[in-house]
């Protein structure tokens, strides 16, 4: 069965520093992978998704993610974090919407 | 503005008192679903609907009911809430079932059952 692991529950970075959020997945076939962001008091917003093709995916708000099949990973990165990026981030895997598996989430704190 | 709305946003109730959380979308989406979010568990799907009058169980359907009488609305019903249903609930919609379809999430309903 598919599953998603986000090893880091909470990460703190300084504003302007780079960011990498880790995501490892288990899936029986070619995965469909997603990153969502949840700002305080808000619903989830899709940052980016990967289905096939170029393994480096660009998303909104300056985020990108790289699919590495050999490592079963789909890590999210941003070169320079802004205070407004403080939120909770969810990685998800699934073949369709009623088969999605979400990770437990990583909470990002940004220090001034 | 394209959006998914949920009401109420916050609700405190007591065990056994029936409640309904409404969900409405204005994007003419066929697919709608409900999730619950619990610390350390991420989001888990409760029920989903692929179209009007078509609903099916997700991963954690026990204690919940849904209905889809109109395309835009997908209410979540707790007929006899229990404390273990205290959670943050999200409604979502998309054009279809496929993985290529982006799900749009509502702002969430925080439910506390005493």
Cα–Cα distance, A104 to B6 (Å, whole number) = 23
Average pLDDT, chain B: 93
Smallest CA–CA distance from B110 into chain A, residue: A41
Residue where the block lists tokens 């350390």 = B40
Assigned token pair, A34 = 């997603």
Across A79-101, average pLDDT = 89
Q: Looking at residue B30, what DSSP letter applies?
A: S
CA distances from A30 to A8, A26, A47, A49, A67 (A): 24, 10, 20, 13, 11
Smallest CA–CA distance from B46 into chain A, residue: A98
Residues of A in contact with B108 (CB under 8 A): 41-43
Cα–Cα distance, A93 to A102 (Å, whole number) = 7
Place B98 in a pLDDT band, splitting at 50, 70 and 90: low
Which tens digit of pLDDT belongs to each residue from A24-63? 999 877 778 999 999 988 889 999 999 888 899 999 999 9
The answer to whether A38 touches A100, Cβ cutoff 8 Å, is no
> What pLDDT score was predicted for residue A58?
96
Q: Is the pLDDT of residue B105 over 90?
A: yes
HSE, side-chain direction, 13 A CA sphere, residue A9 = 3
How many residues are given for chain B? Answer: 114
Place A106 in a pLDDT band, splitting at 50, 70 and 90: very high
Which tens digit of pLDDT belongs to each residue from B53-62? 999 999 999 9
Map residue B51 onto helix, strand or coil. strand
Cα–Cα distance, A57 to B40 (Å, whole number) = 27
Cα–Cα distance, B21 to B71 (Å, whole number) = 16
Across B79-86, average pLDDT = 97
The answer to whether B15 touches B83, Cβ cutoff 8 Å, is yes
> What pLDDT score was predicted for residue A50?
92
Q: Chains A, B: CB contacts under 8 A, how many?
A: 63
A24-28, B27-31, B109-113: range with highest mean pLDDT: B109-113
Inter-chain residue contact A97 with B98, CB threshold 8 Å = yes
Interchain CB contact of A57 with B (< 8 Å): no
* DSSP β-ladder status, B109-113 and B10-13: parallel
> What pLDDT score was predicted for residue A53?
85
């Amino acid at each position: 069965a598919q599953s998603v692991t986000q090893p880091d529950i909470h990460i703190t970075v300084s504003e302007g520093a780079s960011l990498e959020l880790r995501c490892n997945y288990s899936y029986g076939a070619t995965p469909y992978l997603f990153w969502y962001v949840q700002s305080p008091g808000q619903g989830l917003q899709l940052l980016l998704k990967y289905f096939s093709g170029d393994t480096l995916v660009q998303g909104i708000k300056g985020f990108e993610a790289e699919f590495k099949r050999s490592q079963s990973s789909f890590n999210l990165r941003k070169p320079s974090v802004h205070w407004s990026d403080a939120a909770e981030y969810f990685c998800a895997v699934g073949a369709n919407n009623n088969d999605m598996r979400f990770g437990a989430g990583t909470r990002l704190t940004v220090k001034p | 503005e394209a959006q998914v709305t949920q009401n109420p946003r916050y609700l405190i109730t007591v065990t056994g008192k029936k409640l309904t959380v409404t969900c409405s979308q204005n994007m003419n989406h066929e697919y709608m679903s409900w999730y619950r979010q619990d610390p350390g568990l991420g989001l888990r799907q409760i029920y989903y609907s692929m179209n009007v009058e078509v609903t099916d169980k997700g991963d954690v359907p026990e204690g919940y009911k849904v209905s889809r009488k109109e395309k835009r609305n997908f209410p979540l019903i707790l007929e006899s809430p229990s404390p273990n249903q205290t959670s943050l609930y999200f409604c979502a919609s998309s054009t279809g079932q496929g993985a290529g379809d982006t799900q749009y999430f509502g702002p969430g309903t925080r439910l506390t059952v005493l």
